[in-house]
Each structure stands twice: as C-alpha cells, then as structure tokens.
Amino acid sequence: MAHRPYKAKDHFFKKAHDQGLRARSAFKIDEIARRFSLFKKGQAVLDLGAAPGGFLQIIADEVGDKGTIVGVDVVAIRPLARANVKTAVLDVLADDFDVKLLELYAGAYDVVVSDLAPKTSGIRSTDEARSLRLAGKALEVSRTRGRPGGAFVAKLFMGGDFEAFRDDVRAAYADVKVVRPEATRGGSVEVYLVGLKRK
C-alpha cells in the first residue's frame, strides 16, 4: 500500500492557524475533552509535554480563570498571557522532577494530561519502549498527584507492551478508553489512553 505524501499544512494545520492555536495537536485534546466531558471550570490540570502550548490554550479556555494549569516540557514554552497558567522547563525522567513539580503547585490535579513523546529513532521497538516509559511516568504522576475521581490522558505508540500499560491504567481508573483523535496524522501509530474516575 503506497503511503500518501505527508502534507505538513493540512486541514488541521490551517484551522489551528486561523484560530490562533499554537499547534494542530490542540484539536486532539479538544476532541477528547468534548467526548468525555474531561474539564470543568475551576479545575487544576497538569499538562506534561506541553510545548508549544496548544493543549494549554484549550485547557485554559475549558477550566477558566479560576482554574490552575501547570505545563511542563524539556523545551521552553512561550508564555501564555494567562495568569493561571504556569509553565516550566522540566524533564519528567529527571531524578528531581517530582520535587520540582511540587514547587510549581502543591495541590492535587483533577486531570493529568500527557502528550509526552520520545525523540523518534526510526527503530519501532525502541520508539515504542521510550513512549511507554514516558506514559508510565505520567501514570505514576497521576497516581501520586491526581485527585480521586479525576482523569488521566496519555499519548503513546501502539505496539510493544501497550496491553500491559492499559491494564495498569485500568488498575487505577474505573473506565479506560483508547482514542485515536481525528487530528492524528495518517501514518501515525499514536493513540491516547483516557482513564476516567480514578479509584
């Protein structure tokens, strides 16, 4: 089967540009949020792998000015002109990550979102393993910092130990869904796992 050539400036790219969104990926969290009524006004939300800030823009609109949003990534995120959005350059796999995260916000999060993705090597098994490691860290954060009854969303690459990871999410959340948002690129193996109602 011939792959269609990758179109960088596709429909979602244009739509993101027209709406002043920083990334086409913003439509992924927007779709997931709508399907599962993920966010509510006043919530505290953690966005892991938040650069360039497309998810943060959607989340900030959803939780409103009384909400608290923390976005972290290994690269700097251009500040959003919103008082309730804090961002920091942090590596989720660093030894001091949990301590630094606590310094940004000490409360519990209603929703933990992870759009973390490894720098791809082109070796599928390696990329899947790295993707799972990042998703695993996100799940650990959701267990230690997430509020009971809260939600978890994590991007990961299909394959490898995907089933085992889904079981780990099922152990922590009452309802688990696998979602491939419409804005996902054609040849991509990424999906999002959505955990609802943390036990």
Alpha-carbon span 199 to 191, nearest angstrom:
23
Q: Please give the DSSP secondary-structure letter assigned to residue 130.
A: H
Per annotation, catalytic residue among 15, 86, 155, 177 = 155
Q: Give the ranges where 20-161 is alpha helix by DSSP (H).
A: 26-36, 54-63, 97-104, 124-145
Q: Residue 1 corresponds to which tokens in the numbers above?
A: 């089967």
User: Which residue in this structure is represented by tokens 């959005």?
Assistant: 85
Active site residue 14: no
CB atoms inside a 10 Å sphere around CB 1: 3
Q: CA 132, 134, 139 angle in degrees (round to 5)?
A: 90
Catalytic positions, written as ranges: 155
